[in-house]
Amino acid sequence: MTKKSNQEAIIEFNPKLPRLSASESKVLKLLVEAAKLIAPIYLEQEKQSESGINRKEIEEAGKKDPAFLSQYTVIEKVNGKLVATAYHVKYAKLLAPIAEKLEKAASITDNREFGNALRIQAKALLTGSYNEAIIAWLKNKPYILDISIGPVDHFDDQLFFRKASYQAWVGIVNATDTEKLNNYKAITLSARRKTEVPQKRVDNRDKVKAKVIDVLIFSGFMARTKFVGVNLPMDVNIVEKYGSEITLFNQPNDLRLKEQILPSFSNIFSQSFREGFSQEDLRKGNLGYIAIHELAHSYLYYRNASKNLKDLFICIYELAATVLGLRMAGPLLLEDVITSKRLESMIVAFICRSFYLIKKAKTDKPMVNRVLGSAIFINFMLENGALKQRDGMVIANFMKIFIALQELSFILEQLLSSGTRKDTETFIKKYGYLNESFERYIL
Ligand SMILES: [Zn+2]
């Protein structure tokens, strides 16, 4: 089903495609070619991240020249001195053929708006006008072909010191799944929620777009992280003005099911528990919890959170989205949009993912924030008796999990809305450890 190459940072998928017009097929081919060319740039970034320049040096240099702190600069040491070079200058040679492919696709497509966005994207790659491209894509009407290409800040990179990573995906919008996701969206985002300090939060709920795509290729950062869903952009100011867009990825979900969820499932749960969930339950449960995670992000744009929590922000932010998301599944259940079996499958999938990440903690550096989030979730559930350990197996009490989620989500949102880095550190110290006995018995 998939062709992978770790060295190349490319994953190709082979989804069943709907009927496309001749020009759409040509455009699609060019987009995939363009996406492939992103991988070498990402690999360059990986190499540079090992240069040994530390956070302190960069912060010091940033006081004199803000270019050092930009998400879109490469920082190198030349003759013992730090130098910041803009991405589009540093990678100009590698970017030129990518922009060419996008331009060519733009000249072929019958969809003028899509062609226009491709041109703006091509220009952004060559000149650094990234926000222009982000806004153009956010303004576009839904279209069957989908591409994201260029440097993206996922806030997730301690590795690159908050530098944007080059990434690309290309896919076809899946109409049936997109309709279902938008149904989730309509219900979860219309529910009126009291937040503690509304003035501290950016509300973009009326500007959220959502789609599910069948993926042809993941390149660069996406091939490394194998995300099943994203909600972009991350910049609160752009989100406030232009909205955000959720994208879920079908084939990477299948991949995660096979590589992470199923192995973890058979490791940590007893035979009799496992008989209650089919592979299809878990596939849908995994995509389902990621869908509501991405939707929950729309409630979590606290204006100063990233500034206040600093390096600990992303861990809390990501866990808060899952925990709040699972709570937001409540209205879906009440309105019979999902069954209780589906809600349980979502929770089981997240438990499996959490144990998988904790087990991989030693090798999976870029995912460190999510590992910490997983540990917090598991330890919090254990403390509340919502998860128990017996004979090396995990016993899940869904009713208790659902109740404990309320409390955990309250704590996490407090941290995001008005916590300090110190509060967050104290909380992480209490719950973010990797439980020894779990290592021994389960992992
Ligand atoms: Zn997220």
* Residue 230 CA to ligand 1 centre (angstroms): 6
284 to 108, 217, 233, 325, 389: CA distances (angstroms)? 37, 21, 26, 15, 26
Answer whether residue 269 shows pLDDT above 90.
yes
pLDDT per residue as tens digits for the range 146-201: 999 999 987 655 444 578 999 999 999 999 999 999 999 998 887 655 554 556 67
Q: What is the CATH number of domain 1-173+216-225?
A: 3.30.540.30
| CA–centroid distance, residue 297 to ligand 1 (Å) | 7
The bridge status of strand 244-249 relative to strand 165-173 is unpaired
Q: How far is the CA of 63 from the centre of ligand 1 (A)?
A: 31
pLDDT at 440: 42
Judge whether 323 and 230 are in contact, CB under 8 Å: no
Report how far ligand 1's centroid is from the alpha carbon of 23 (Å).
35
Per-residue confidence (pLDDT) for residue 442, from 0 to 100: 42
Structure token digits, residue 283: 């596939």
Model confidence at 363, in pLDDT bands (50, 70, 90)? low
> Averaged over 107-119, what is the pLDDT?
98
pLDDT over threshold 70, residue 127? yes
pLDDT score of 2 more than 70: no
State the span(s) of the chain assigned CATH 3.30.540.30: 1-173+216-225
Tell me, in angstroms, the distance from the centre of ligand 1 to residue 292's CA: 10
Compute the distance from residue 293 Cα to the ligand 1 centre, in Å.
Answer: 6
pLDDT of residue 443: 39
Around ion ligand 1, residues with a beta carbon closer than 5 Å are 318, 321
Per-residue model confidence (pLDDT) at position 441: 41
pLDDT at 343 over 70: yes
Residue 117 Rama label (left phi>0; alpha psi -120 to 50; beta):
alpha
Residues 384-407 have a mean pLDDT of 93
